[in-house]
Amino acid sequence: MNPISDDDTPPPSWRQRPRPVGFEIAYTLDGETLEIDTTRKVDRVRLAAVEQVRFVYAPSNISSKGFKTQLRLSDGKSISFGNLSWRSLTDMDRDDAGYHAFVVALAAAIAQANPRARFVAGKPFAFWLALAAVSALSLLMLAFFTVRAFVQGANSTALLGLLLAGASYWQVKPMVVLNRPRELASGEVPDDLVPGRPAA
């Protein structure tokens, strides 16, 4: 999964099973082409056709450590893959180091194939703003509920409100903070949205 250094080194690749039920998908860099093998068919995508690369925080139902890389092509199609791979209906596999190595190689290849490709981090601004507003409103409502319960002497209800507020904050904060919209330099890969960078 490392960048090509000689003829004997395999090309950068990444394999993921994006759904609990379904086939594994293999992504392989072949020069200025991204080969996508879905088992049923093999697609070849020209990297020069990639108009935008977006990195997002995307937790799953059973893991809070989910991240995705999204490619938008000039024909309007999109490609998305992440660092989590389903092994069964209740178990997921993480290979952050392998994911990071592949994404770095892919980003560099895209930047070379299409210097005009836009690299961005986080959700689109309108979506992120709505997410932040709804999250803040929800936390304020929980805070109001908790304070009112304390004032009325319903301590057990107030404690429940505190627990709910704490759990909500723990889940909502990374969604808002990590997905804030940011412009990146061409070929840049943000460490907070693409985990697995080797230690210096």
- Residues 32/109, Cβ–Cβ less than 8 Å: yes
92 plus 115 within the same structural domain: yes
Number of structural domains, the chain?
2
Query: 110 Cβ partners below 8 Å, 6+ apart?
Result: 47, 50, 53, 71, 117, 187
118 plus 39 within the same structural domain: yes
94 plus 145 within the same structural domain: no
Q: Is residue 142 part of a domain?
A: yes
Q: Is residue 188 part of a domain?
A: no
Query: 12 Cβ partners below 8 Å, 6+ apart?
Result: 1, 2, 3, 4, 28, 29, 101, 102, 105, 106
115 plus 35 within the same structural domain: yes
Q: Is residue 160 part of a domain?
A: yes
85 plus 143 within the same structural domain: no
Residue 60 C-beta-side C-alpha neighbours within 13 Å: 21
d(CA 79, CA 47): 12
Q: Which residue's structure tokens are 């999109």?
A: 78
- Residues 39/106, Cβ–Cβ less than 8 Å: no
The tens digit of pLDDT for each residue in 122-179 reads 999 999 999 999 988 888 887 877 888 778 877 787 787 777 777 777 778 899 999 9
22 plus 105 within the same structural domain: yes
Q: Is residue 44 part of a domain?
A: yes
Identity (one letter) of the amino acid at 122?
G
Across all residues in the chain, what is the average pLDDT?
89
Q: Which two tokens stand for residue 52?
A: 């935008």
69 plus 21 within the same structural domain: yes
The tens digit of pLDDT for each residue in 66-104 reads 999 999 999 999 999 999 998 887 888 889 999 999 999
146 plus 113 within the same structural domain: no
The tens digit of pLDDT for each residue in 22-75 reads 889 999 999 999 999 998 999 999 999 999 999 999 987 666 789 999 999 999
52 plus 109 within the same structural domain: yes
pTM over 0.95: no
Q: Is residue 108 part of a domain?
A: yes
108 plus 143 within the same structural domain: no
Q: Which domain holds residue 111?
A: 13-122
110 plus 136 within the same structural domain: no
113 plus 35 within the same structural domain: yes
d(CA 127, CA 55): 15
d(CA 104, CA 89): 30
